Structure 1
Amino acid sequence: MASSPSTSDDILDSLKKNVDPTVLSERDAAMRKRVAKQYEKAQNQLRNLVNANSTLPVTISFINIDGAKNTRTGFLRKVLEQTFAESKGPGFTLEDALRELRRDCNTFYKFGIFHPPTLYIDSAGKRDGKTMLKAEISLRELPRFTLKTGTDMGNTEGSGYPEGSGYLSLTYRNMFGGAESLNGYASTGTRTRSAYELNFQAPINANPDLILETSGYASTRSHQYYSSHEEVLRGGKVGVKWGEHETGYTGVWRQITGLAQEASPTIRGDAGDSVKSSLWHAFTRDRRDSHLLPTRGWMVKSESEVAGWGGLGGDVAFWKNEMETQVAAPLGASGVSVSAGLRGGLLYPLCLGVGDNRKPPQPSRINDRFRLGGPTDVRGFKECGLGPRHGNDSVGGDIYMAGGASIYFPLPKVGPEKPLRLQAFVNSGRLVGLQGLAEDSGDVNSSVAGALKELGNGLPSVAAGIGLVYAHPIARFELNFCLPLVKRSGEKGRKGLQLGIGINFR
């Protein structure tokens, strides 16, 4: 007599209840192991098949894109057109086809609007002695809108006047179906009273390595901790990124305001409005294994800016350049590593305007000068503690040199694979202003020569110390015991514990 469905279900439930959970777990583990072995076997077979047929003449007849529902068809075709063109050429093989299709998948991923793509390839017969291939690239789009809120800790000493802020960030991806993005950002905090930015980016000619960027921003930031004033910025920029280069134009209205009662004459002299109109270029080549805690590799970086020269306009004119290099290397297989860096900068005043409106070079403003010192810059000194001062105010300088070296040790019972290290370091720096340049007279070249001579006059400021370093994926944290060894007159050292939090440590 046949049992009813309900009776069968009861019997199965009863049998399941009588099975030891440990046995079920072991069976599941064995099943997963068999599946993993089958997958590995299939991958090996596919790899062997490809290797055996890598020189097989092929052509790509069809590529299907699946899952890109918010992306323009013309944009997708632009990415694939090189692959189709290459596949029609003589001597195109299966190995070439796989390389081109993988490059297409990598290109789609680099746009920042898709999860990692999946590639499928199959044969579609033969024609003219070549195997026809059909491919499918499966894409899964990231959410078009992303909203984030949280708190930031900027480059800071962590004492006295720490930089903390709350922020709101909104991203609109793939805005017009061509990997464009619109990013809005707003924050408020202790030093940065308020900051707002709206940024638009779009790839040029469907190339993820050629990006057009334009943005507008406004901010109010307090410098009272070291320089008795606040700075208000309102401006915009437009630029192009390609490979390791970035260039563009910036126009910004600056205000020196909120002066403290004890503000120095230098700060008061630069108070008020200023307009900067400049062209800039940046180059970065980074071969380090980590920008937060490198253990091997090297980096070189250059930033140049020309403001107010010729027909650029604005009311400041200068050429400003900074160069930086860093190298890191492991010491054997113990997890110990060393890093060393050197950097320098020059601000060279230029004539403002052209023709009858041309003005002679003017001394630099506090907005544009270099600053030096701090836990993420030259450890063992207060933020902006190096260089020229007027009263209690740091007023910045026009030429600087700085460098340092660190040795990193893995902590006992932690291991070298963890981003936590004990460091010993020594660093130094010197910042000077131009000598003898007045608003109505003075030779720039002789002023620069005098500043360079002063830069090499005597020892630079030097500090050494030991501490702990933790490289979080978002920021680097340091807690160091610092000892200033050489401190020039008027400069602000910091003996004892110093906390540094930031993303750019030098």
Structure 2
Amino acid sequence: MGSGKSKESPAADQKNNIDFTRFKARVDRINISGLSRTYDDYVRRAVENLFKASNFQDIIIETTNAKDNLLQLGVFKNLKINIDISKGSEATKNGYEVTFCGDELSRLTGSVGTELGQNDGALTAELTSPNVFGRGERVSLNYSYSYVKSSVLNLRFTKPYYHTNVGEYNPETSISVFKHSSPTPWTKFRTEEAGVLLDFSFTLPFGLSNSFQYEVGMKEIVAMNKTTPFFVREHCGPKLASIIRYIGTFEGRDSNVFPSNGVLIKTTNELMGSTLSQFGVMKSDVHCELNVPLFAGISLQMSGRVGMLLNDARKEAIPINSLFFLGGPQSLRGFELAGAGPYREGVAAGCTSYWASGLHLWSPLPFSSYFGGFGKLFRTHLFYNFGTCNTFTTDKLRSTAGAGIAFRIGQKARIEFNYCQPLSFESGDRVKKGFQFGIGYEFI
């Protein structure tokens, strides 16, 4: 924040614990510099709460909020703040002038980096043209290629509506043209997709993020090699696909990676069919997580996930690439990827329903304070995973207990290195006793 002056001299001496609410103040004028192609109405709403300030502390708080709002608009690459005494013929008693100084983003920006997925990592490259028409619109071209040889090519146009009367809900629309390719080695097929995705997203005041999507395009299932079984080959070939999708997320945790308190609820629901008017398959997946702090940095985590597929056999058969595959370090530890479920002819056959749960006792590293900030990147845990598929009972229950250490990567993903002891499993399951490595952003 820039320099601040007060007509009543509210010295910014934190040692004296000065109560800034005692100093009456108001904002007479707001200046935003550095914008050349952005319309005034797009930035006005982001700073208007500053005019409601009645004391100097309000000005400080609302100035910080306004800066966050301006950066969220996606037009600035940096932003500085200056608070000064209001001057001129229109200056009022106890009046201040707030100035935001920033630079607009370039018309074309690019980046190359890496991205973590579920037990996968990818090299990504992106070109973006921000603020195309002066109200936050952006066009982006993204390409990624992962370790498991999946690829994503995505051209997207996004239009935000932060400046409108419903701006507090963060509404945004987008249209994407995409081409995806992803292998499924445990069932020996590859999915090739190309199409168009329409998306409308918004956030409700209590923290529920919503995304409504419509996707239409061609999906093709391709046999990976000559050993692909016949029951998989029956699903192969191109097919017109139409999907209506809803994604809802309530994020109430204190951290995305190592939460110690709070709740996460995420649901994905899809209606799938071959045309817009004929939907024969419904797919639903719900993930929940509860974190409870205990003592000495130790916390209890309870998580669960449930999925279900329903179809009208007269309209639509369930394609094999829409089935659930249970098992692996992100779902049921102690099993290989897709290893906890039915197998046919040596490959995973998938399931139409499943449920899985986990209990974790998370703790900081012993003597982590001696390692400084580096020690905060690690956590240890004791865990118990259990679940099954094709039933919502405890029949054919799979379960694993173990212990491990996790390492945080950024603010979204982590690496786990666990020792797993499978306790119950079926004869055809692919069990992985001993050490198991996992990397991702969503675990049970």
State the TM-score, normalized to the length of structure 2: 0.84
How many Å apart are 1:498 and its aligned residue?
Answer: 1.0
Is 1:340 the counterpart of 2:302 in the alignment? yes
Pick aligned residue for 1:312 from 260, 276, 290 = 276
Judging by fraction of residues, say which structure has more strand: 2
Opposite residue 72 of structure 2, the aligned amino acid is K
Going from structure 1 to structure 2, the CA distance change for 1:183 and 1:361 (only over 3 Å counts) comes to same
SS of residue matched to 1:303: strand
Pick aligned residue for 1:476 from 398, 414, 432 = 414
Pick aligned residue for 2:286 from 323, 334, 347 = 323
Please list, as runs of the form range in 1=range in 2, the aligned pairs for 1:203-214 lying within 5 A after superposition: 203-206=160-163, 207=167, 209-214=170-175
Please list, as runs of the form range in 1=range in 2, the aligned pairs for 1:425-464 lying within 5 A after superposition: 425-432=383-390, 454-456=391-393, 458-464=395-401
Is 1:489 the counterpart of 2:443 in the alignment? no
Pick aligned residue for 1:503 from 435, 441, 444 = 441
SS of residue matched to 2:292: strand
SS of residue matched to 1:108: helix
Is 1:180 the counterpart of 2:141 in the alignment? no
Is 1:75 the counterpart of 2:39 in the alignment? no
Please list, as runs of the form range in 1=range in 2, the aligned pairs for 1:151-190 lying within 5 A after superposition: 151-156=114-119, 163-190=120-147
Pick aligned residue for 1:53 from 23, 40, 44 = 23
Going from structure 1 to structure 2, the CA distance change for 1:129 and 1:177 (only over 3 Å counts) comes to closer
Distance in 1 (CA, whole Å) between partners of 2:363 and 2:406 is 10
> Bigger shift: 380-389 or 120-129?
120-129
SS of residue matched to 1:418: helix
How many Å apart are 1:102 and its aligned residue?
Answer: 4.6
Task: Give 1:231's aligned residue.
Answer: 191
What stretches of structure 2 of length at least 5 have no aligned partner?
1-8, 204-208
Opposite residue 274 of structure 1, the aligned amino acid is K
SS of residue matched to 1:42: coil
Task: Give 1:219's aligned residue.
Answer: 180
Query: How many residues were matched structurally?
Result: 419
SS of residue matched to 1:104: helix
Deviations 1:57-96 (A, max 9, x none): x5x543211122342334233545x549x76xxxx73469
Please list, as runs of the form range in 1=range in 2, the aligned pairs for 1:72-471 lying within 5 A after superposition: 72-80=39-47, 82-83=48-49, 93-94=54-55, 98=59, 101-114=63-76, 115-124=78-87, 133-156=96-119, 163-206=120-163, 207=167, 209-224=170-185, 226-243=186-203, 244-308=209-273, 312-313=276-277, 317-332=280-295, 334-350=296-312, 360-415=314-369, 418-432=376-390, 454-456=391-393, 458-471=395-408
Question: Is the CA contact 1:186–1:197 (under 8 Å) kept in the aligned structure 2?
Answer: yes
Task: Give 1:65's aligned residue.
Answer: 32
Distance in 2 (CA, whole Å) between partners of 1:378 and 1:491 is 12
Question: Is the CA contact 1:151–1:167 (under 8 Å) kept in the aligned structure 2?
Answer: yes
Going from structure 1 to structure 2, the CA distance change for 1:385 and 1:65 (only over 3 Å counts) comes to same
Distance in 2 (CA, whole Å) between partners of 1:133 and 1:116 is 19
Distance in 2 (CA, whole Å) between partners of 1:117 and 1:368 is 49
How many Å apart are 1:113 and its aligned residue?
Answer: 3.5
How many Å apart are 1:197 and its aligned residue?
Answer: 1.1
Larger radius of gyration: 1
SS of residue matched to 2:297: coil
How many Å apart are 1:44 and its aligned residue?
Answer: 3.7
Question: Is the CA contact 2:112–2:126 (under 8 Å) kept in the aligned structure 1?
Answer: yes
Going from structure 1 to structure 2, the CA distance change for 1:388 and 1:119 (only over 3 Å counts) comes to farther
How many Å apart are 1:194 and its aligned residue?
Answer: 3.0
How many Å apart are 1:277 and its aligned residue?
Answer: 1.1
Going from structure 1 to structure 2, the CA distance change for 1:122 and 1:269 (only over 3 Å counts) comes to same
CA RMSD, 1 decimal: 3.1
Question: Is the CA contact 2:20–2:57 (under 8 Å) kept in the aligned structure 1?
Answer: no
Question: Is the CA contact 1:124–1:131 (under 8 Å) kept in the aligned structure 2?
Answer: no
Deviations 1:282-326 (A, max 9, x none): 1111111221221222111122122239x7247x62222222210
Question: Is the CA contact 2:28–2:91 (under 8 Å) kept in the aligned structure 1?
Answer: no
